[in-house]
């Protein structure tokens, strides 16, 4: 006579059920300067002009072909397949137009009303907020809130637009954009912000009146007030004003000379400054 099968459940039998739904999320962002430098010998000039997508490296010698590849193979694929196939957007042409407008404001604070006013259609600020959320969810943009100790004030602020890599801005500009110190400074500030946005923690900007700080980076119990210095003339008034209001913040001035070291390990760079 065969014995009845045991009803005892072992720990091994339970293992697949008890671990169901557990995972570690690994985000792979745009290629950073240190990665492109190691793989393709990039210098800062090349990174500011083309950085972010290794697939475009082969086309950098022909700007028209570089632009076409970036627009058709990357940007349009993200918009058409990653967003529009899964999200409801009433006017796809307007949505695409919004992308080009957002790309033209690298590391700049801009009101939703001003952005909306440049769209060739009627709408309201909720429309442009929705568009920004969709592009942010597709890892194409970061919309930084203004830093405040009060969370409700952060939510109500105008965003500082940060394309996820320099190429998303320079693709819509003249090939000689970096010859202009003002424009070059904007692109370099974008490059710094894009690196910071890939780090753990929270990234903001700060402004009160004419006093501003390019980036405020919060990680664990540390708060860094980061001023980006490049070709543009900028005073330290904003940094001083922020430190008066937030004495515990660590001031950081980041220049092109420091960028390679910063990109190699942003957290180690900031910790060394604070030490």
Which tops the pLDDT comparison, 176 or 236? 176
- pLDDT, residue 7, reads 45
Spatial distance between the Cα atoms of 21 and 211, rounded to a whole number of angstroms: 47
In a domain, 18, yes or no: no
In a domain, 188, yes or no: yes
In a domain, 172, yes or no: yes
In a domain, 4, yes or no: no
Residue 53: domain span: 29-274
Spatial distance between the Cα atoms of 150 and 222, rounded to a whole number of angstroms: 17
In a domain, 196, yes or no: yes
In a domain, 11, yes or no: no
Closest CA to 226 of 263, 176, 189: 189
In a domain, 23, yes or no: no
Spatial distance between the Cα atoms of 239 and 28, rounded to a whole number of angstroms: 32
Residues 6+ apart with CB under 8 A from 268: none
Residue ranges of alpha helices (H) inside 62-221 are 63-69, 76-77, 92-103, 112-117, 125-137, 151-155, 166-170, 181-197
Spatial distance between the Cα atoms of 100 and 172, rounded to a whole number of angstroms: 7
Which tops the pLDDT comparison, 17 or 114? 114
In a domain, 14, yes or no: no
**pLDDT tens by residue, 165-224:** 999 999 999 888 999 999 999 999 999 999 999 999 999 999 998 899 999 999 989 999
Say if residue 81's pLDDT is above 70: yes
Joined tokens for residue 164: 């996820």
Spatial distance between the Cα atoms of 89 and 66, rounded to a whole number of angstroms: 28
Spatial distance between the Cα atoms of 194 and 30, rounded to a whole number of angstroms: 9
Kindly list the strands in the beta sheet with 108-109, ordered across the sheet, starting from the edge strand earlier in the chain.
108-109, 160-163, 141-144
* Counted domains in the chain: 1
Confidence of residue 3 (pLDDT cuts 50, 70, 90): very low
Closest CA to 238 of 250, 226, 247, 230: 226
Which tops the pLDDT comparison, 177 or 9? 177
CB 168 within 8 A of CB 188: no
- pLDDT, residue 151, reads 61
Q: pTM of the predicted model, to two decimals?
A: 0.86
């Amino acid at each position: 006579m065969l014995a009845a099968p045991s009803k005892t459940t072992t720990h091994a039998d339970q293992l697949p059920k008890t671990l169901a739904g557990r995972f570690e999320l690994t985000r792979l962002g745009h290629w950073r300067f240190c990665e492109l430098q190691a793989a393709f010998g990039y210098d800062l000039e090349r990174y500011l002009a083309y950085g972010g997508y290794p697939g475009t490296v082969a086309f950098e010698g022909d700007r028209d072909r570089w632009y076409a590849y970036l627009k058709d193979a990357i940007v349009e694929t993200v918009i058409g397949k990653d967003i529009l196939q899964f999200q409801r957007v009433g006017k796809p042409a307007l949505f695409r137009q919004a992308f080009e407008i957002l790309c033209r404001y690298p590391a700049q604070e801009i009101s939703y009303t001003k952005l909306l006013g440049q769209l060739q259609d009627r709408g309201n600020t909720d429309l442009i907020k929705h568009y920004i959320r969709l592009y942010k969810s597709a890892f194409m943009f970061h919309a930084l809130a203004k830093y405040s100790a009060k969370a409700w004030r952060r939510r109500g602020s105008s965003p500082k637009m940060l394309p996820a890599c320099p190429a998303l801005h320079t693709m819509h500009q003249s090939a000689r954009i970096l010859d202009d110190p003002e424009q070059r400074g904007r692109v370099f500030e974008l490059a710094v912000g894009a690196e910071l946005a890939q780090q753990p923690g929270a990234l903001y900007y700060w402004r009160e009146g004419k006093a501003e700080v390019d980036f405020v980076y919060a990680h664990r119990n540390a708060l860094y007030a980061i001023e980006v210095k490049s070709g543009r003339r900028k005073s330290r008034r904003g940094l001083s004003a922020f430190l008066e209001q937030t004495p515990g913040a660590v001031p950081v001035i980041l220049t092109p000379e420091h960028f390679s070291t910063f990109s190699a390990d942003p957290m180690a760079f900031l910790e060394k400054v604070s030490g």
